[in-house]
Structure 1
Amino acid sequence: MTITSASTSTSTDSLLIDGRQLIGREWVPSATGRTIDVINPANRELLARIPRSDAADVDAAVEAAEQAFPAWRDTNASVRASIIFRWADLIEQNADELDQLESQEVGRPSWGPSRLPAQLRFIAGQVDKVQGVSLPTYSPDTIGFTLREPYGVVGAIIPWNAPGAMFLNEVGAAIAAGNTIVIKPAEDAPLTPLALAKLALDAGVPAGVINVVTGYGSEAGAAIPAHPRIRRIGFTGSPATGSLIMEACARNLTPLHLELGGKSPQVVFADADLDAAVPAMVAGITLNTGQICAAGSRVVVMRSIHAELVDRLAAEMQKVTVGPWHQPVTMGPLINEKQYDRVLNYIELGKQGGADVVTGGGVPQGDLYGNGFFVQPTLFDNVSPDMRIAQEEIFGPVLSVIAVDTEEEAIAVANGTDYGLVASVWTQDVGIAVRMSRALNAGQVGVNNAIGAGVIGGPFGGYKNSGFGRTMGADSVLNWTQVKTVSMRSATLPQF
């Protein structure tokens, strides 16, 4: 299959099979034969077709995963690790092709050198570190210890905003622990996950260990948490869908982790280095067109520097160039028409609510934008904390500025949403940094960092309605295991 954009073409014949998904060792259509069009968000042209699967396809994938599980579970950890390391090597060898593929289906410009190989190598390095512990016993004729064992067949549902990284987060850690997996990528951006699965097979991951089922969330997606033989679930998406996933898991008592988005505050104190803060904050809200759960979408600023900060943010936002991924731009389109309408609706809600549009607030004009889902980077000032644009996740390049007078007020505003994923603090005062790091209700706090911790192996996850459970950290593989306690007593009673 060859994917073609308006002015550039990229051959993906070696990585993709048009209209097919991976179940067991076979690339197959859906059981019904139906397909879904994958659209280029920059021009609405057809990129590819994927199977429109349903519960029957999920059931077939579970069967394949069950057949593969015993042998994969019993493969020793060093061998599993070596296979995953080979997978990372193949991803590195195909990094440019994968980056262009994801750019086209998501709409983003290139993010530079791929971090996917390093991400997978970090996981592979944990495989042979999965260990139990010895336990104290009441008598010397007994020993006690714990085993870490895989769940069996597990499932995952990932979103469209960063499909490559999301796929490896879930699949890499799950199979590293010895599980087999059935994963559904988003119907808007399934191509990079399918290509990564192809590379996994090429690396030697056995057939059935990774199964990729494509389709709509209400059909294929809903069948995964509802399946009684899937023993753990990972989901990243909206709180509304997360609630439905959790309800379905509850019927089968299936454990899960949820990452459900954010409304991340960036608290700016009077002593902040604005030369560093302003470009970082603008990059943080325009990266991937603001379609990042960790995007810092609320600026909570001390009133003494409020006017200066707004002026500098506006000037920086006006430097953001918008266009198709293959152009020398810094921001691409939104993913689809639904998201396009959603973001524009929130911009109108902000205007109607009394916030002031400082820059942006509409769509760019010109032939370059054609039928694409492009919007302008938008900065709102004089936003009150109770406005919808300050409370609800927009998932677009919309930044709201809220002025406060004290540290206590800043904490109250920053914590005053249902979300708690990421928070940032901009200050040169160590005391403020320490107090804010403790006071902010978020799973990640960055000091002088716009998106988050910026560290290797930092556990990622949320507080409150941002979900529960952690990925990406040193425990990411352990999180896909369950603990068994073994008590072993001598068959011969001791003589005293």
Structure 2
Amino acid sequence: MTITQTIPAAFLVDPQSLIEDGTMFIGGKWVPAASGETFEVLNPATQEVLGRVPRGGRADVDAAVAAATAAFAGWRETHPSVRGRLLNKWADLCDEHVRELERLENQEIGRPSFAPNPAATNIRYIAGLADKIQGTSLPTADLDQLALTLRDPFGAIAIIVPWNGPGWAAPKRIVGPLIAGNTVVLKPASEAPLTVLYLAKLAEEAGIPAGVINVVTGSGRDVGEPLVLHPDIKRVSFTGSTKTGTRIAELAASHQIPAILELGGKSANVVYADADLDLAIPHLVRGILDNSGQACVAGSRLLVERSIEQDVIERLKTAFAKVTVGPWYEEPTMGPVINEAQGETVLGYIKAGVEEGATLAYGGSRLTGGKYDLGCYIEPTIFTDVRAGMRIEQEEIFGPVLSVIAFDSEDEAVRIANGTRYGLNSAVFTQDVGKAVRFARRSEAGLVSVNTTMGMGAVGIPAGGFKSSGYGRIASSDSPLEWTQTKAVVFGKTA
């Protein structure tokens, strides 16, 4: 009996029924790699092979960029309202096939379902801007002169998306360039390419012209670097680690193309003594355990006013004790981490936290036995007595590890919150509006949430960070500005 035979059918989708095995999407066609090579995509919860995708290389990058470049003129000249309608049709198909998208991602990255797949919502929000891209008129020295600005698309864009949420990450990053008239070559993470390929299939069914969206699968070395270095790529969007983002920026700078980078985080959630803890605790738990802590916006640092520190810690322990860990089909709170390598990284940080003198107050071990031996499952973990400067307080762990740090004043809370190289996300819990405003103004983060975390419930947040968390913004009403370049036009006297 195979593993899948023990899983309820409602929690499964067959990837081969959605996309052709061993193919990627270039120039409107589903094709193998030029080399003919493939690699396996594994379910992190069961280690079953979900499918095989092409091991792309330079020849495939060249073909995809050529297709995107060839499609650019026609897509650029397509009326903005038509581009908007096509993208909205894509959103409709994402809604129609939301179960397939959700189950495919469940199986591909191992996370349980915790919210409806937001692909359609994110596409519709940005698609509505397609016919609202406007220039400006400028003053002139003479009344029979005219000066104005136009917003021009760049051309073929390289987009590299992460593995930890491909179903929501890819649409948010694709749709901005598309509404502005650019074409895209998308490289999904090798750990999770199937959901992205299925999104491309839905875009094809929506009638988006051949070559406007292209997907090339393969490694960062074989696909990512040649893509960023390709002379016909005009701009880059990368989401992932700060280390890799730095390399992407260097490659882009080597041939003078701009980049948008959404990188790592070490987000601080600040809880003041006047906070409503019944409200705060569920947000704090979800903020670190969603997707097993594998999120750049994960609230991995919890700053607590000293007078309530022990109360908060005990409440967190109680909440963590109710967390269920298991494969997605059991509908647990938390699933496995993506693979063994990531598991070893997380466990290494837990060991470092103990060695540096923090108190391991809850969890900290790998779960074993039965179903847990099929994937890499790590207990939700709490460290207390964490001091500023410890590795677990400074470095992105990308796992279910929470560091609790006490503070005594507003100034100290802000100093600790801002005291890392990162600046992606922060949150504050207080019933004092003045405290919330002061923290929001002083926080060095691209997103500040008040009495919630990760901007829950908001659509169109300009995603991006400060400092080493990257630069540029995606998925907001500013997308036309990010994905177009300004051209000034001046009409002189004709007589």
TM-score normalized by structure 1?
A: 0.97
Shift of 1:370: 2.4
- The alignment status of 1:70 with 2:86, answered yes or no, reads no
User: What is the 5 A alignment of 1:110-125?
Assistant: 110-125=113-128
Deviations 1:246-289 (A, max 9, x none): 11111110101101110000111100111011111011100000
Q: 1:4 to 1:211 in 2, by over 3 A?
A: farther
The match for 2:398 among 388, 392, 395 is 395
State whether residues 361 and 377 of structure 1, in contact with CA within 8 Å, keep that contact through their aligned partners in structure 2: yes
User: What is the 5 A alignment of 1:334-483?
Assistant: 334-452=337-455, 454-483=457-486
3-state secondary structure, aligned to 2:13? strand
3-state secondary structure, aligned to 1:385? coil
Shift of 1:451: 2.0
3-state secondary structure, aligned to 1:346? helix
Shift of 1:454: 4.2
State whether residues 325 and 332 of structure 1, in contact with CA within 8 Å, keep that contact through their aligned partners in structure 2: yes
- The alignment status of 1:205 with 2:208, answered yes or no, reads yes
State whether residues 15 and 199 of structure 1, in contact with CA within 8 Å, keep that contact through their aligned partners in structure 2: no
Deviations 1:456-479 (A, max 9, x none): 222111000000001121112331
1:265 aligned partner? 268
Report the AA paired with residue 7 of structure 2: S
3-state secondary structure, aligned to 2:406? strand
1:56 aligned partner? 59
Report the AA paired with residue 428 of structure 1: Q
1:27 aligned partner? 30
- The alignment status of 1:95 with 2:93, answered yes or no, reads no
Deviations 1:6-61 (A, max 9, x none): 62442344521111000102111111111111111002221111111111111110
User: What is the 5 A alignment of 1:29-428?
Assistant: 29-428=32-431
3-state secondary structure, aligned to 2:479? coil
Q: Whole-Å Cα distance in 1 between the matches of residues 354 and 228 of structure 2?
A: 40
Report the AA paired with residue 438 of structure 1: R
Deviations 1:423-455 (A, max 9, x none): 111111111111111111101111111223642
Shift of 1:170: 1.5
Q: Whole-Å Cα distance in 2 between the matches of residues 217 and 450 of structure 1?
A: 31
Q: Whole-Å Cα distance in 2 between the matches of residues 135 and 309 of structure 1?
A: 57
Shift of 1:4: 4.9
Report the AA paired with residue 396 of structure 2: E
Aligned-residue CA RMSD in angstroms? 1.3
Report the AA paired with residue 478 of structure 2: D
Shift of 1:216: 0.6
2:7 aligned partner? 7
State whether residues 460 and 476 of structure 2, in contact with CA within 8 Å, keep that contact through their aligned partners in structure 1: yes
Q: Whole-Å Cα distance in 2 between the matches of residues 26 and 189 of structure 1?
A: 21
Structure 1 gaps, min length 5? none
Q: Whole-Å Cα distance in 2 between the matches of residues 395 and 446 of structure 1?
A: 20
Shift of 1:411: 1.0
Moved more, 382-391 or 474-483: 474-483
Report the AA paired with residue 76 of structure 2: R
State whether residues 123 and 477 of structure 1, in contact with CA within 8 Å, keep that contact through their aligned partners in structure 2: no
Shift of 1:173: 1.1
State whether residues 68 and 209 of structure 1, in contact with CA within 8 Å, keep that contact through their aligned partners in structure 2: yes
Shift of 1:365: 3.2
State whether residues 117 and 168 of structure 2, in contact with CA within 8 Å, keep that contact through their aligned partners in structure 1: no
Report the AA paired with residue 38 of structure 1: V
Shift of 1:174: 1.0
Report the AA paired with residue 185 of structure 1: P
Q: Whole-Å Cα distance in 2 between the matches of residues 427 and 170 of structure 1?
A: 33
Q: Whole-Å Cα distance in 1 between the matches of residues 316 and 308 of structure 2?
A: 12
Q: Whole-Å Cα distance in 1 between the matches of residues 337 and 6 of structure 2?
A: 17
Moved more, 360-369 or 397-406: 360-369
- The alignment status of 1:486 with 2:492, answered yes or no, reads no
Identity %: 51
3-state secondary structure, aligned to 2:331? coil
Report the AA paired with residue 54 of structure 2: P
Q: 1:6 to 1:394 in 2, by over 3 A?
A: farther
Q: Whole-Å Cα distance in 2 between the matches of residues 116 and 376 of structure 1?
A: 30
Report the AA paired with residue 70 of structure 2: Q
State whether residues 277 and 450 of structure 1, in contact with CA within 8 Å, keep that contact through their aligned partners in structure 2: no
Q: Whole-Å Cα distance in 2 between the matches of residues 490 and 80 of structure 1?
A: 36
State whether residues 5 and 40 of structure 1, in contact with CA within 8 Å, keep that contact through their aligned partners in structure 2: no
Q: Whole-Å Cα distance in 2 between the matches of residues 335 and 76 of structure 1?
A: 42
Q: Whole-Å Cα distance in 2 between the matches of residues 4 and 231 of structure 1?
A: 44
Q: Whole-Å Cα distance in 1 between the matches of residues 211 and 161 of structure 2?
A: 19
State whether residues 4 and 47 of structure 1, in contact with CA within 8 Å, keep that contact through their aligned partners in structure 2: no
Q: Whole-Å Cα distance in 2 between the matches of residues 211 and 368 of structure 1?
A: 37
Deviations 1:193-218 (A, max 9, x none): 00000000100100000000000111
TM-score normalized by structure 2?
A: 0.97
State whether residues 119 and 172 of structure 2, in contact with CA within 8 Å, keep that contact through their aligned partners in structure 1: no
Q: Whole-Å Cα distance in 2 between the matches of residues 328 and 157 of structure 1?
A: 30
Q: How many residues align?
A: 490
Q: Whole-Å Cα distance in 1 between the matches of residues 366 and 372 of structure 2?
A: 9
Report the AA paired with residue 245 of structure 2: G
Report the AA paired with residue 81 of structure 1: G
Shift of 1:171: 1.1
Moved more, 19-28 or 366-375: 366-375
Deviations 1:55-85 (A, max 9, x none): 1111110111111111111000011100001
Q: Whole-Å Cα distance in 2 between the matches of residues 115 and 170 of structure 1?
A: 13
Q: Whole-Å Cα distance in 2 between the matches of residues 14 and 179 of structure 1?
A: 30
3-state secondary structure, aligned to 1:417? coil
Structure 2 gaps, min length 5? none
Report the AA paired with residue 375 of structure 2: G
Report the AA paired with residue 469 of structure 1: G
